[in-house]
Each structure stands twice: as C-alpha cells, then as structure tokens.
Chain A
C-alpha cells in the first residue's frame, strides 16, 4: 500500500463492471471486484463495497441481470450477467471512452514551448 492509486471517475466503474461481465460471463460481486483489481494491476482505488451501488444502478437500467446461484465451491451467491442492451451500451461507451482517452492522450503529450 502507500503508493497513490487512481481515484475512480464517476461512471468509469460502471463501464469496468460491464466490460468485466462481457469478458467473463456470469460473475458474483466479489469476483467482479477482484477481477477489476487484478486487471488494473491494483492501480485502481476501490473499496470493494462500492461495487454494489454500481451493480444496482446497472441492474435498474436494464444493462445487467442478476440471479441467485451457487459457486463452484458450493457457496450461495448472486450472479450477474450482461444483457443484450448492456452489450449495446458497452459498445457505445467503450468507443466513446477510447475516443476521449485518445484525445486526452494527445493533449497531455504536448511539451512546454511546443507550437
């Protein structure tokens, strides 16, 4: 610990959750949180509990579904899956995000004095 982690921007967590579910299929809350941590190389500052606000938001928007099931080690858990509308939303948001990050990248690459 100790090193500075990235604070999550509003909405980025939702996008990460959608992407994770699209990539991994059905997954429970803990799994999603761990996956995001692993993929980001522990760069993302995430109180795992905050994922539940994001999950309920996505669920109410109809982008993911949820159902109780059992995990491989026979534990009861709530599993989330991405819906068709969720995939569509993800495609739009991912494209948008990539455009934004490309623009941000170009802007941030400027060197002082450069014209």
Chain B
C-alpha cells in the first residue's frame, strides 16, 4: 500500500507540473463525451436543442467535474497556495508604496539578523577551523600583570611538561614575541618587510592543518643547524608570489639567508585570525627550540587532548606536573617557580574559549540587539497591516459573505505576510552579503576569525527560520483580527465614527508604545556603550599617540664579542637617529624594541637596594630597551632625566622606571637617584616616566622598567618619530635616510602610533558602531510607527476635526491636540522602555568602562532623543490636521 502511495504521490507531482497540458486533454475528453451523448440523444429522436440540453444535464457541472478531476490528480493544496500567491502579488502591486516600505523594513531587519548570525556563527557557534578543534586546550599561567612573559613558558618547561603530562596526544607552541614586519624578503626588487611567526615543528600537525601545497614541518626542520624552511600563508602566497604553484622547493631570501619554501597553508587556516586577531601574518617558520633554550619564557602551549580526556582531568594532570617544571634545567633554583607566587599554577581552557571567550558577551549582546530590531520591524508591520486591514475589511467581509471560509481568509493573509517576508529576506540577504564581505576585508578589526565569515548553509537556514517566524509574528495578529471581525459590522460600517475604529486604534496605540519601548532599550544600550567607548578614548595612555609614527628598522650589529656588538649597535643607532632627527619636520626620534599595546616581556624581579621582601611580594616589571630620544618621540613625560649617548657600557648601568613601579619600590619617596638590584647588576634609577598602558587600553597599569640600548641589546628596533607634519609625508625621506646607512632596510610600513591604539580599541569601536546603527534603525522604525498611527488617527477623525474647526477651534489648538496624543504615546513607551532598559542594563555591566549601567546622562539623553524624534514624527500629521478645511469635510460625508 505504501508503495502505491509513493507512486501516486509522484504522479500527483507530475500532474501538478504538467497542469496546462492535462487540463487541455481533459477538456477535449469532456467535449468528445458530450458529443457522444448528443449523438445518441439525436438517434433517439430528440431535437438538436433537446439533445444538447439533456446531454449537459446528465453530465452535470463541467467546471465542477474539472475541479474534481484536478483535485484528484494533482496537488490541490499547492493549487490554492499558488492562487493565493498570485492574488497577493496582484494586491501588492496595486499597493506599491506599502509593499516597498514593508519589504525595505523587513530587509533591514532580516539583513541585520543574518549578518550578525554569520558573525556569531563563525566566532562562537562553529568550531575553530582546525581539524581537532574540540580537543585543543590553551595552556598558560593564570592571568598576571607582567605581560607575555608571565603568559608563556621556557623551552625547558615546555619539554618537561610534554614529557610528564599524560593527558595529551601532543603538546605544541609558538614563539610569542614576534613583531610585525620582523623579517626582510630580498631578491624581489626592493627589500620587502614580512611578518613571520616561528612555530614548533609539530604545531600544524597538533592543530590538524593539512598543507594546500607541499608538506608541513618535520622534526628535522627543528634541529639545531637545520636549513631554514618556511610555510607560506595562503593569502601571502597569492599576493607576493601570484599563487605560483611551483613555489614549493624554491629558495627565497629571508633576512639574508636562503630559506626553502616547503609548502603553502590552506586558505582555511590563517594564523593571525586565530592567534593574533587584526594582525597580518605572512609565513610560518620552523622554531629551533635548542637555540632558544636560554631565552626565558617564550612559548604559550597548546595541547591536543587524548580521546576521552576531559578538561578537568587535564587540569588535574597539569596541577600534578607544574611543581616539577624548571625555568632553566641547569638552574636548580628555578625548578618549581611556575607553581609559586600568588598567581602560580596553570589555568587550562579550551582553545576555542581562549580565542573567542573574551568577546562572547559582546556578540551575544549584538545578537540580542538585532533580535530587538526584528521585533520592532514586526510590530511596525503589524501596525501597517492593521491600518491596511481596516481599509480592506469590506473586501474580506464580501469574500466571506460569498462563501470563503475563515481559514481560507487567514491563510490568504498569512500568504501575504510570507511573500512580503520572502521579499524582505531576498533583499536582506543582499545586505547581509555586503556587510559580511566588508567584515572579511576589514583586516584592522582585532576580532578573531573575521576573515572566514561567510553566508554559509547555516546562515541560509537561519534566514529561512527568521523569515518564516517574522511572517507569522507580524501576520498572525492582523489575520486573526480580520477573521474574527463581524462581517455584518464591516459591511455596515461606513467609514469614520464607528466603534470598531476606536478599538482598532487602541490596539495600534499599544503596538506603538511597545515599539517605542523596544527602541528605548536599544538606544540606552547604544548610549551606554558609546559613553564607555568615549571613556576609553579619554584614557591617559601614558604616551601621546598623535603626530608620532614608527617604522621597523633593519639592524645588523653582529660582532665577535657581546661588547663589540653593543658598541657597533650604538654607533648605528646614534647615526640613524641623528640623520632622521635632522630631517625637516622631525621633532624627536628614538628606538625601542617593543611598542606599547603589543607584545611585551619581563626579566625577573629587581629589588630596591637595601630592602628585603618575601618571595612574590614584588612585581616583575615589563622590560623595554630604548635609545635616547625615545621618550620624547613617544610623548612620555620624564621626571629626572632621559638616557644620553654617554650612558654606555663604560658608565654605570642606568634605568628609568614608571610611576607605578616607583610607588611600589619607594613609597612616598622620590625614586630618582635610588638603586635597584637585579642579580649582580646595580641599576641606577635616573628617571621616572608616566605609566603606559602596555597590553590593553582598558587594563590597569602595570610596572615597567626601561633599559638603554647602549647597555642592553634590544630584540628588534622600532624607530619612533614625532613630527609637526603628518607622519605619512615623512615616510619617503625617513626611509631614504635609513637606506643610506643600511641598503638592506626594507620598505617597511610607516605606522602612525594612533593606528596601534585604534587597533587596540577596535573591538569596542566595532560593537559601538553596530549597536549604534541598530539603535538608529530602531529609532527610525519607531518614528515611522508613531507617524503611521497618528496620521491614521487624523484621517479617521477628519470629520470631527472639521466640525471642531467649524465651531471655532483654532488651528493651533488642533495641532496641539494631535501633538499631545503623540506625546502621550511616547511617554507611555518611555516609561515601559526605561523599566525594560534598567533590567537589561545589568546584563551590560561587564562590557561597560567607567560607566554605570544606570548612567543618568544616558537615560536623560535617550528620553530627550526619543521625545524629539517622536515630536518630529507627530508634527506632519498635526500640521495636516490643522489644514483640514471644515467645508470640504462636512460636505463630503
């Protein structure tokens, strides 16, 4: 029997598709049927007319027979739907203005929802684009104030951890202290700066990344003295090498040494997108751990759990292993140091959590905001449809009088909603596509995985869901309302003045109030975030980012002895800084190895001379190595004195510390002239500088210590220049000056320091921008809603207003009346909205900066804004009401 059903179903579908041909065939068949009948009747001796009449009577209704046969052979349900759809399209074409407004509103609502869903899906819902995503854990010490050095492990600790842990298939890591443009590619015209990251040779295998071309690193690539090899990032391969498929096995020249390209990474894996959002990474090189054994804490660890091992088990395993880890194996006192101190131990989290945990809240909020937008759109459309249904109530009463069942009318209305919604979705997908494309190209936003956002199958599914839900949400109410209305009343109701109109008006007023309330919540949310953002921009960074720029300097100061190399370096730097400082427009220049708001490191715990502290009581300050002139170039205030070119290896060792460190070392005293002891070194404090926000604009300030490049060798050199003219205009002359001294200097990017700050605040800017746009959208929609209801009210009351004017009411009074009604709606909405906002505001607390969730100014601003917008929306109908000509309206009815 089932078999029969399936076969018949298939035939029904086929019949549905070939409807026209089958109809024609049936008509022919019925015509021949009638002719047979007439012929037989004639033979029986009837007159021609009688024969035809009898034949028709015996056949019954031709149209009915046709309908029954169609219903039997095809898909009657779809037939009705197609009919409804055709009818709807005709109606909507007649009412083009309404259709356009509705579709545009829906497109904005659905588009915003789909775009945000794609972002949420990529960053939060989908696993990371790594084969073993769900088994990967980020292994790091608990968060501390001493920067990257306290978030990483030494090579010895890594090896020990890997050997002793039982939870992992494999443990890997990468060199965390790379800076942008840290390599120089030569042999392709001018030297080009390249950003490379050193990863352990098992890095990609552990994560589960397969090469697009060539091979991954092997253990041999990581041995001391191995020939240098790199893997190219897919985007870099396309950009720099035009996607050359024969690149594998070729030698390229990096930092002067020939390096073999062993492979190309797949487009689906971008190191930067996962591990350093907002930064471009061009290639990966094989990390040679033996060479980096004495470099201190340099690698964050990533482990792939064995099947069945939970995060909690891995954590317990880590707690067991940590006390056995040594910072340096040859230095027995360093053993166990990772477990000591207030922040000792290890905090495991999933890699996914490490990558996207920080912005989870923000994304959820964004998701909520677009949900609100869609809700406002629905309320608005419900309202529009109700207004339309008032005008169409007679049409429906007529149809129902002619025998259409209620269900058919509700279905017709829902078909209308669905078609509007589908139109909105089609346009909305276009909007969403534009937004997501923009996001994938906006490389400067420091959010992870942005480049892999696209409208995938999940997004399409979401679109479908949202579209249907929306259609039901805004279509059901007017539909039920329409179907439940008494048709006699509708047929009798001759327009204005009837009681039904009033009841109708009340529902619409309630809808507008809820719309205003929802807009309130959006505006308050956006306001709070905006104020937080302004507070963040106001933060005293400790340096002056404007009018300063930096360029990565290529340095080669290799010499047989350490001393010789330091003096060679100081010679190079002194020359370069003198040259650059002499350029017209340059106010100051200096170099530093790590710029603020980027990677940073610490070198142990110096103690003030003559004092003793318990272990862990003193901070480990962040270390910067800089040249004379750096503080002036960065716009940092110095109390005491700056380094000079005479503070060299022959003189005593000098340092500057920041104010926060000075307060800890010598509370209530002037730190200048005091001495810090670090191991066997005596560090003379010659100055105190402003606290710099080292890791993030929003974090508390930590402790910092500055060494001179003339006494300690820097890891890399960023030349910072302060100028009166826009830094970009100096780029050429600075580069020329550097090239004269060092022909190998690559054409590195001249980065305004402002962009570094911008990148650091970019996630916040991104969220503020989006929530702000959504709030503006909400406001506009609410204004439309208010306008719609008030204007509708005015049209309904035309007669009444006409009479009042005829009886002597002044036009100003009429206007005032309409405006008062508008204000009444808004105030009711405001009150509801304020209560809702207060409830929602608490959810925002963790995302605010220097702003209370109950911030009075934000609420006052929101109220003022909404009232202003509402009055604007109400003014037009009020003006129209006051122009009503009593003679015309009275005569009309």
State the A residues within 8 Å of B (CB). Answer: 28-31, 33-34, 47-50, 52-54, 56-57, 60-62, 71, 73, 75-78
B29 touches which of A62, A73, A78 (Cβ 8 Å): A78
Beta-carbon contact of A47 and B39 below 8 Å:
no
Within 8 A of A (CB), among B24-41: 25-26, 28-30, 32-33, 35-37, 39-40
B7 contacts A by Cβ under 8 Å: yes
Contacts A47-B65, A50-B68 given; indicate if A60 touches B11 (C-beta within 8 A): yes
Q: Which of A49, A56, A57, A78 has the most CB of B within 10 A?
A: A49
Interface membership of B8, Cβ < 8 A: yes
Query: How many angstroms between the C-alpha atoms of A62 and B35 in the bound complex?
Result: 28
> Chain A residues near B36 (CB, 8 Å)?
28, 30-31, 71, 75, 77
Complex-state Cα separation, A33 to B55, whole angstroms: 12
B73 located at the interface, meaning its Cβ lies under 8 Å from any Cβ of chain A in the complex? yes
Which residues from chain B contact A49 at a C-beta distance below 8 Å? 30, 59-62, 64-65, 68
User: Is the beta-carbon distance between B39 and A73 smaller than 8 angstroms?
Assistant: yes
How distant is B42 from chain A, measured CB to nearest CB, in Å? 12
User: Bound complex: CA of A49 vs CA of B40, how far in Å?
Assistant: 17
Contact of B73 among A29, A47, A60, A78 (CB under 8 A): A60
Q: In the complex, what distance in Å separates the CA atom of A61 from the CA atom of B65?
A: 20
Are A29 and B59 in touch, CB under 8 angstroms? Answer: no
Determine the chain B residues whose CB is within 8 A of the CB of A73 once the complex forms: 39
Residue of A nearest to B58 (CB): A48
Name B61's contact: one of A47, A53, A56, A62 (CB within 8 Å).
Answer: A47
Q: List 14 A-B contacts (CB under 8 A).
A: A29-B29, A30-B36, A34-B40, A47-B61, A48-B33, A48-B37, A49-B64, A52-B29, A52-B65, A53-B72, A57-B73, A60-B73, A62-B7, A73-B39
Question: Which of B32, B35, B60 is A48 in contact with, Cβ under 8 Å?
Answer: B60
- Whether A28 and B39, one on each chain, are in contact in the complex, defined by CB atoms closer than 8 angstroms, is no
- Chain B residues lying within 8 Å of A54, measured Cβ to Cβ, are 72
In the complex, are the beta carbons of B72 and A28 less than 8 A apart?
A: no
Select which of B32, B39, B61 is within 8 A of A76 by beta carbon: B32
Is B32 within 8 A of A77, CB to CB? yes
The answer for the CA separation of A73 and B734 in the assembled complex, in Å, is 106
Q: Is the CB of A56 within 8 A of B32?
A: no
Asked whether A53 lies within 8 Å of B37 as measured between CB atoms, the reply is no
Does B71 lie within 8 Å of A53, measured CB to CB? yes
Q: Which residues of B contact A50 (CB under 8 A)?
A: 60, 65, 68
In the complex, what residues of A have CB within 8 A of residue B26's CB?
Answer: 52
Taking A49-B60, A75-B35, A76-B32 as given, write out 13 further A-B residue pairs in contact, using a Cβ cutoff of 8 Å, ordered by the A residue number.
Answer: A28-B33, A28-B36, A47-B59, A47-B65, A52-B30, A53-B65, A53-B68, A61-B7, A75-B36, A75-B39, A76-B28, A77-B29, A78-B32
Of B7, B25, B28, B33, most A-chain CB atoms within 10 Å:
B33
Nearest Cβ on chain B to A28's Cβ, whole angstroms: 7
In contact, A56 and B35 (Cβ under 8 angstroms): no
Check A61/B8 contact, CB under 8 A, given A49-B65, A52-B68.
Answer: yes
**A75 lies within 8 A of B60 (CB):** no
The 5 closest A-B pairs by CB, nearest first: A47-B60, A49-B65, A30-B36, A53-B68, A56-B73
In the bound complex, CA of A42 to CA of B25 (Å):
29
Instruction: Check if B97 is an interface residue, CB within 8 A of chain A.
Output: no
In the assembled complex, which residues on chain A have CB atoms less than 8 Å from the CB atom of B30? 49, 52
CB-based nearest B residue for A63: B4
- A57 CB contacts on chain B under 8 angstroms: 72-73
Q: Given A49-B59, A52-B29, do A60 and B69 touch, yes or no (CB 8 Å)?
A: no
Note all chain B residues with C-beta closer than 8 A to A28.
32-33, 36
Complex CA gap A53/B40 in Å reads 23
**Whole-angstrom distance from the CB of B466 to the nearest CB of chain A?**
38
> Is there a chain A Cβ closer than 8 Å to B579's Cβ?
no
Q: Does B765 contact A (CB under 8 A)?
A: no
B12 interface residue (CB < 8 Å to A): yes
Q: Is the CB of B33 within 8 A of A30?
A: yes
By beta carbon, the residue of chain B nearest A60 is: B11
Nearest CB in chain B: distance from A107 CB, A: 28
- Chain A residues with CB under 8 Å of B72's CB are 53-54, 56-57
- C-alpha spacing A76/B29, complex, angstroms: 9
List residues of chain A with CB within 8 A of the CB of B28.
76
* Chain B residues, Cβ within 8 Å of A60: 7-8, 11-12, 15, 73
Q: With both chains docked as a complex, state the minimum distance between the C-beta of A33 and any C-beta of chain B, in angstroms.
A: 8
Q: List residues 55-93 of chain B with CB under 8 A from any CB of chain A.
A: 58-62, 64-65, 68-69, 71-73
Name B74's closest neighbour in chain A (CB-CB).
A56
**Whole-angstrom distance between the alpha carbons of A52 and B25 in the complex?**
12
- Cα–Cα distance between A52 and B64 once the two chains are bound (Å): 11
The minimal Cβ–Cβ distance linking A61 to chain B, given in whole angstroms, is 6
Measured between beta carbons, the chain A residues less than 8 angstroms from B73 are 56-57, 60
Give B457 Cβ to nearest chain A Cβ, in Å: 36
- Return chain A residues, CB-CB under 8 Å to B7: 60-62
> Quick one: closest B residue to A37, CB to CB?
B58
Flag if A48 contacts B11 (CB, 8 Å).
no
B8: chain A residues within 8 A (beta carbon): 60-61
Q: Which of A31, A34, A60 has the most CB of B within 10 A?
A: A60
In the bound complex, what is the Cα–Cα distance between A73 and B36 (angstroms)?
Answer: 10
Taken together as a complex, chains A and B put the C-alpha atoms of A103 and B775 apart, in Å, by 76
Rounded to whole angstroms, the CA-CA distance of A94 and B639 in the bound complex is 112
Most chain A CB within 10 A, of B8, B28, B32, B71, is at B32
Expressed in whole angstroms, the minimum distance between the Cβ of B34 and any Cβ of chain A is: 8
Tell me the bound Cα distance from A76 to B11 in angstroms.
25
When distances are taken between beta carbons in the complex, the residues of chain B under 8 Å from A62 are: 4, 7
Residues of A within 8 A of B60 (CB): 47-50
Of residues 1 through 57 on chain B, the ones whose CB sits less than 8 Å from some CB of chain A are 4, 7-8, 11-12, 15, 25-26, 28-30, 32-33, 35-37, 39-40
C-alpha spacing A78/B29, complex, angstroms: 7
Q: How far, in whole Å, are A30 and B58 apart by their CA atoms in the complex?
A: 11
Nearest A residue to B61 via CB reads A49
Chain A nearest Cβ from B30, distance in angstroms? 7
Q: Of all chain A residues, which has the CB nearest B40?
A: A34
How far, in Å, is B51 (CB) from chain A's closest CB?
A: 14
Residue of A33, A48, A75 with most partner-chain B CB within 10 A: A48
Complex Cα gap A111–B30 (Å): 47
Could you tell me the distance between the alpha carbons of A75 and B28 in the complex, rounded to whole angstroms? Answer: 12
Query: Bound complex: CA of A62 vs CA of B10, how far in Å?
Result: 12
Question: What is the 8 Å Cβ interface bit string for chain B, positions 731-751, against chain A (1 contact, 0 not)?
Answer: 000000000000000000000
A29 to B69, CA, bound (A): 13
Known interface pairs A47-B59, A47-B61, A60-B12; A53-B69 also in contact (CB < 8 Å):
yes
A75 to B37, CA, bound (A): 12
Min distance, Cβ A104 to any Cβ of chain B, angstroms: 25
A60–B7 CA distance with the chains assembled, in angstroms: 8
In the complex, the chain A residue whose C-beta lies closest to that of B11 is A60
Q: How far apart sit A53 and B71, CA to CA, in the bound complex (Å)?
A: 8
Which B residues are in CB contact (< 8 Å) with A30?
32-33, 36-37
For chain B residues 318-356, which have a beta carbon within 8 Å of chain A? none
CA distance A47 to B4 in the complex (A): 28
How distant is the Cα of A29 from the Cα of B638 in the complex, in angstroms? 107
Residues of B within 8 A of A29 (CB): 29, 33
Bound together, the chains give a CA A104 to CA B28 distance in angstroms of 41
Interface string of B88-114 (1 = CB under 8 A from A): 000000000000000000000000000
- Shortest Cβ distance from residue B171 to the other chain A in the assembled complex, whole angstroms: 66
Complex-state Cα separation, A48 to B11, whole angstroms: 24
Which of B12, B29, B60, B71 has the most A CB atoms < 10 Å from its CB?
B29
A75–B15 Cα distance when bound, in Å, is: 26
A48 with B59: CB separation less than 8 A: yes
Query: Which one, B33, B40, B69, contacts A56 given CB within 8 A?
Result: B69
Q: For A73, give the chain B residue with the smallest CB separation.
A: B39
Compute how far the CA of A78 lies from the CA of B59 in the bound complex, rounded to whole angstroms.
17
Considering residues B7, B64, B71, B73, which has the most beta carbons from chain A within 10 angstroms of its beta carbon?
B73
A68 to chain B, nearest CB (A): 9
A75 touches B64 (CB 8 A): no
B25 to chain A, nearest CB (A): 8
Q: For residue A13, give the distance in angstroms from its CB to the closest CB of chain B.
A: 12
